[in-house]
Amino acid sequence: MESEMESELAAQVADLRSRLEALEQNAPGNKLSMVVFSGDLDKALAAFIIATGAAAMGMEVMMFFTFWGTPLLRDPEAKALGKDLMGTMFGAMLPRGAARAKLSKMHFGGLGTAMMRGLMKQKNVASLDQLIALAAEMDVKICICDLSMSLMGFAREEMINYPDLKYCGVATFLEAAQGSKIQLFL
Partner 1 sequence: MNADIKVAKELNLRNLPCPMPVVKISKAVKEIAVGEVVMAITTDPGALSDFPAWAKSSGHEILATEASGEETKFYVKRLK
Residue 50 CB, nearest approach to partner 1 (Å): 8
Burial of 157 (0-12, 13-18, 19+ CB in 10 A): exposed
Helix (H) / strand (E) element for 167: namely strand 166-168
Residue 101 CB, nearest approach to partner 1 (Å): 18
Residue 61 CB, nearest approach to partner 1 (Å): 12
The Cα 59–Cα 27 span in angstroms is 15
* Residue with smaller CB distance to partner 1, 50 or 168: 50
Alpha-carbon distances of 173 from 3, 32, 58, 62, rounded to whole Å: 51, 11, 20, 8
User: CA gyration radius for the chain?
Assistant: 23
29-36/60-65 β-pairing: parallel
Residue whose C-alpha is closest to residue 168's, from 141, 144, 140: 144
* Residue with smaller CB distance to partner 1, 20 or 119: 119
The Cα 3–Cα 30 span in angstroms is 44
Residue 48 CB, nearest approach to partner 1 (Å): 8
* Residue with smaller CB distance to partner 1, 57 or 89: 57
* Residue with smaller CB distance to partner 1, 18 or 30: 30
Burial 23-34 (b: 16+ CB within 10 A, else e): eeeeeeeebbbb
Q: Which residues contact partner 1 by CB under 8 A?
A: 49, 52-53, 55-58, 123-126, 134, 138
Residue 51 CB, nearest approach to partner 1 (Å): 9
* Residue with smaller CB distance to partner 1, 134 or 170: 134
